[in-house]
Every structure is written in structure tokens, then in C-alpha cells.
Amino acid sequence: MVQGKYLLKVAGCQMSFHDAEVLSGLLSRAGYTETTDPAEADVIIFQTCCVRETAERKIYGQINELGRLKRSKPGLIIGMTGCLAQKDKEKVLERCPQVDFVLGTQRLGDLPEVLAALREGSGGIVDVDAVDNLEGLPLKRADGVRAYVNVSYGCNNFCAYCIVPYVRGPERSRRPEAVLAEVEEAVREGYPEVMLLGQNVNTYGRDLDGPVSFSWLLRTVDKVDGLVRVRYTTSHPRDFTEDIIRAVKDTEKVCEHFHLPLQAGSDRTLARMNRGYTAAQYLKLIEKIRSLIPGASITTDLIVGFPGETEEDFQATLDMVEKVRFDAAYTFMFSPREGTAAATLPEQVPAATKRERLSRLNALQERISREQNETLVGKTVEVLVEGPSKNNPCMLTGRTRTNKLVHFPGPEDLRGKLALVHIERASTWTLQGVLADKGKEQA
């Protein structure tokens, strides 16, 4: 049943990369094998992102570059899936005539039928109806130590800048039995770590019957035999209850890393973003986490240049960065997304101001990240080994429970195992160390 070769071009967040694992699973089951060479491919699928305009522009650029290949190989099937496909629907075909099909975020399971229809001569298929067919699909997980498991789909929050609720639909929690079965399956396949995924995992279970909640889910997943670590993303500061902090504290496998997107430091901006918390409430949450779990790491997402952001508002973001002392931050320039509330707000901030603010914010955060990492020098940390380092294959790479990247020399057979590493040097993004003797002081 060999059908040919497929190539996936993936952009975006972990959710998008996980969708690509579903596409790989479906294509493998249909008899396709993977290639990384476009010239060799019979099917090329762009699994896309549209959270910022830069991502979108890059994807359309890459598709247009395939025009020549498609002309020389008319049987080549080109498709678009993911958030940009859901957003642009039929417009994708108008803009890129070389694209054969557009599959929405809730329609991944239709891929085999779409490919069969195209092979029989249909063309220009747009399948974007908002009706989930996401349960029970095969998965071909990427190599590595981490398995991604969806706990919910979609988002109800409608943050004023964000396109996600429009392209991923309302929040739907998966049945806990389905989540647990997938975690157990990942452990059987040899993955020591799971990352529970959702746009706002903290509200998991609100739409289900029975006493299920996110803290309950963490405590339940923690009991899965053979699993070593549990992570989750993304959290929402408004919905991060003490219950969840206590679940992290009480469980053995759930890691002490809190990714809590702050977005902005000024209450005026936070309210206009529709985030549902103030800077003071956010600080209180951080205090609670640090008082219950000393040594926890805290990371965030920040946007500069939201419409109407004054220099004073921006200063409030810098002040929050100083106060919280994040371990790391993903920082973005506001990008207007058509259809969202913020896209048409007056007082759009000029691009040059956004760039200048972003560079000041990054300089501050980089100093703090380095200082936070330096506090680990001389300590021994537990690392889950991911394999040889990409930049230096003589070194191994892995992550601490707090999600810090560590490089150290060691045997390759440590891959997938826990190792104790004595930290000798720290930089902004990574820690370097040597394998430690058991029994040394742990951070």
C-alpha cells in the first residue's frame, strides 16, 4: 500500500507541532513515508500559524516558492492545515492556485479522504467546518523524550489581540479517560515526559460533568506508572488557583515550572487586553507560588506596543519584569490580527516604537535570565537527558525540572534517563556542567 512520500512544514506553537504529529500518523497509516526533500515529495502539507503577521507572511512566501516545483510535477499535492488555513479558508486557493486543499483545525481526521478525492481528480478542496473529528486519530510522535497530549481544544477568553479563539473554536475539554489512555500509551512507547496541552489548561473540565478539574487531572496523571515528568501549557494567571499550586507541590512528577503569560504590566493595558487580572493580582500569585514552592521557575509571554500603550504603560511592564524576576520570557511586538478587537483600536503604536521597546525589554530580561541562571552555579540539578546537543554533538543536553537547558559531557546511553549534573557555568539561555556523584546537594 505504498502511496508515496510526504513532507510537513510546521510553524507555530506546541499545539501546531502536535497537530503535525496527527498528520504524520494519518499519512503513515495511509501508506506514505516521510521525506525532508521537497523534490522527492508527493504530498507537501503546511501546518500553519497565524498568531502574528510575520508567521503568516513567511508561510505564504514558502508556498509561493513551490510554484515552479508544482509546474514541473503536476501530480504533487500541496495542502494547508492549521490556524492560517482555518482563518483564510477559500482565500488560500485564490491567493495560491498551486494549493490543492485547505483543511481546518477541527477537520484533521478528514485528511485520508481528502487525499483519496484529490488522487481521483477532485481539486481545490476546502474543508473547514467547525465540527471536531479529533478523537481516536493515529499519532506519529516526534523523536525525543517528551510526548504532547491535548487536554482541551479551543479557547473562550477572547484576549483583545488574539486570533486563537476564532480559529480554534470554543474551549472543549477532552474526556479524562481519553487523556489518561493517551498518557499511558505514550509511556508504553517509551516517553518519560508528557506535556499536557491546551490554550488555557487551568480551566480543564469546566465543561465536563463530574468533579474533574485541572488540579485533579495533575494529581491523576501523576499516578501513571513509569512516567517520570509531567509538564503543562498554557496557563492563564486569572485561572491559576491555589489548588493547582498545591497539586504541583504535592505531586512527585509534576515539574516546578510555571509558565504564566503576563502580557503587560500596566493595569490600563491589561484591562484593554481583556486579561481579567491586575498587576497586583499577578504579583500575589507569584508570591504564593514562591512561598509554597521555593526554587520554582517562572516564565512568561509579554507583548509590547499594544494599541494605546504609552511610555508610562511600557515602563510598568519593565517594572513587573524587575519585580517578578522571570527566568525567561517570550517577547513579542503587537501584531494586529484582522477580526480581533485590538486590530481596529485607535492609537496603534508605530513600528519603530515597538521595535525600540522590544529591544529595551529584551535587554532587561536577558540580564535577569543570566542572573537567575547564575544562582544555580555550584548546585547539583536533576536533568532529564534529551540526547546529544544540536550545536555540539560531543555534549549531552537535557532539562531541569524547572525547564532550564543544561549541556554536559556524558555517555549517549543516558538519553531518556535522569542524571544529576553539577552546574559549573551559566549563561542567559543555558547552564553548563558535569555529571555529579550521587548524594551531592540538590538545588
Q: Which is nearer to ligand SAM, 52 or 399 (CB)?
A: 52
Q: Which is nearer to ligand SF4, 43 or 262 (CB)?
A: 262
Which residue reads 488540579 in cell numbers? 215
Among 52, 141, 236, 257, binds ligand SF4 (CB under 6 A): 236
* 118 vs 100: CA distance, rounded Å: 8
- Interaction between residue 162 and ligand SAM (CB under 6 A): yes
Q: What is the CA radius of gyration of the chain?
A: 23
Q: Which is nearer to ligand SF4, 169 or 410 (CB)?
A: 169
- Interaction between residue 157 and ligand SF4 (CB under 6 A): yes
197-216 residues near ligand SF4, rule: CB under 6 A? 199-200
Choose from ligand SAM, ligand SF4, none: what does 165 bind? Cβ within 5-8 Å by kind: ligand SF4
- Interaction between residue 164 and ligand SAM (CB under 6 A): yes
169-228 residues near ligand SAM, rule: CB under 6 A? 199-200
Among 301, 356, 366, 374, binds ligand SAM (CB under 6 A): 301
In b/e form, how buried is each residue of 159-185, taking b as 16+ CB within 10 angstroms?
Answer: bbbbbbbbbbbebbbbebeebbebbbe
4-33 residues near ligand SAM, rule: CB under 6 A? 13
Among 46, 161, 204, 282, binds ligand SAM (CB under 6 A): 161
Q: What does the per-residue mask of binding to ligand SAM show for 258-297, with x meaning CB under 6 A?
A: ---x-x----------------------------------
Q: Which is nearer to ligand SF4, 253 or 259 (CB)?
A: 259
39-98 residues near ligand SAM, rule: CB under 6 A? 51-52
- Interaction between residue 164 and ligand SF4 (CB under 6 A): yes
Task: List contacts with ligand SF4 (CB under 6 A).
Answer: 155, 157-159, 162, 164-165, 199-200, 236
Binding site for ligand SAM (CB under 6 A): 13, 51-52, 161-162, 164, 199-200, 234, 261, 263, 301, 303, 332, 334-335, 337
